[in-house]
């Protein structure tokens, strides 16, 4: 079980997909306007990454290495289609607000990257741990960005319709730029600089 824990912990900080590996930036920036969206995206990535890691680890013995990338992409695309249909049926609001980024999970570099770099070389159990660790790392990054953006951009914190608090001045005069696209670049740039400064993230 030691290896399981190690693979899980690795994805959290040391190889955090967003901040350290700079993978999956498109969804991290685009859907981090609210915590709801961040959690929905995490759910989609969790299902797809877990499924693709399990399937690819299971078939890694029979896949000829020359055609492995197309096979991986078909596996991932099928899983994404499944997730799309599930979201459309059971979480229609989430489906609307994630919009084009739900089908775009297919080309999220995190998923193909883990399939290629990890699941195609490791047994199923370790691949599950890897998928969970990377997803939690992805979730932490998304939550961090969307938390800051939501508080500064709307002046209040609410998750799935449940209001936590509204800030006194910011609630009436929110800094709208933070929920607009440009705010995403600003926040993620400052967060990366902060992580470099504190030494969590290695310099180039």
* 81/165 with CB nearer other proteins: 81
- One of 15, 39, 54, 84 touching other proteins (CB under 8 A): 84
85 binds other proteins (CB under 8 A): yes
Other residues' Cβ atoms within 10 Å of the Cβ of residue 51 = 19
The CA-atom distances, in angstroms, between 22 and each of 13, 124, 136 are 13, 26, 15
Task: Note whether 192 binds other proteins by CB under 8 A.
Answer: yes
CA angle 192, 193, 195 (to 5 degrees): 65
**Interaction of residue 162 with other proteins, rule CB under 8 A:** no
The site string for other proteins over 26-45 (x = CB under 8 A, - otherwise) reads: xx-xx---------------
**Binding interface with other proteins (CB under 8 A):** 22-23, 25-27, 29-30, 70, 73-74, 77-78, 80-81, 84-85, 100, 103-104, 106-109, 112, 177, 180-186, 188-190, 192-194, 196-197, 203-204
């Amino acid at each position: 079980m030691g290896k399981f824990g190690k693979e899980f912990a690795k994805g959290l900080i040391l190889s955090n997909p967003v901040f350290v590996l700079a993978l999956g930036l498109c969804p991290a920036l685009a859907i981090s306007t609210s915590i709801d969206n961040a959690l929905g995206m995490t759910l989609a990535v969790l299902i797809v990454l877990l499924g693709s890691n399990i399937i690819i680890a299971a078939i890694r013995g029979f896949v000829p290495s020359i055609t492995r990338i197309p096979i991986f992409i078909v596996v991932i695309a099928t899983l994404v289609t499944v997730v799309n249909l599930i979201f459309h049926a059971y979480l229609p609001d989430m489906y609307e607000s994630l919009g084009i980024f739900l089908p775009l999970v297919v080309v999220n570099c995190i998923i193909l990257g883990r399939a290629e770099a990890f699941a195609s070389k490791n047994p199923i159990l370790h691949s599950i741990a890897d998928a969970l660790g990377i997803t939690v790392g992805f979730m932490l990054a998304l939550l961090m960005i969307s938390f800051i953006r939501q508080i500064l951009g709307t002046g209040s914190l609410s998750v799935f319709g449940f209001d936590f608090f509204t800030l006194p001045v910011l609630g009436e005069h929110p800094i709208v730029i933070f929920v607009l696209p440009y705010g995403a670049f600003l926040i993620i740039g400052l967060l990366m600089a902060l992580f470099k400064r504190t030494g969590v993230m290695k310099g180039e």
